Amino acid sequence: MRALLQRVTQASVSVEGQRIGACGPGLLILVCAMQGDTQAQADHLAAKIAKLRIFKDEAGKMNRSITDIGGSALVVSQFTLAADTSRGNRPGFSYAASPAEAEALYTYFAAQMAAHGVGVETGQFGADMQVELLNDGPVTIWMDTDS
């Protein structure tokens, strides 16, 4: 699985002008299931993110996790993280999981984040979404369970 984390003071997602999810302070997590990904990889990714020390402590150092600060997460499915740009000028997405597999892993991942004590809201799988965020730092981190 792939994830792009953005530390935020706030973030929200809307579909057709209706806000369907929001968080803050915490993380906007854009997540993509790749072909062959499993629940074990979603478990690993959620556990790693829940413990990742990217929030400031009293001394201003990135030394606290989202669970340490009592933060929340907005989890949004984003298949374009599977983009293959190695040939030509149009990205290919053949490495992304099928929609049915991807939706199941996306939902499972969000549930695993919640199981780690993180307040979670989500986007709408497969929808055309508008995401707004106020990036804090900015801190943006790329994660891939295959690397």
Catalytic positions: 78-80
- Name beta bridge partners: 121: 74
CA distance 20 to 75: 11
β pairing state of 26-32 and 72-77: parallel
How far apart are the C-alpha atoms of 114 and 35, rounded to whole Å?
24
Torsion of Cα atoms, 62 then 64 then 67 then 72, to 10°: -30
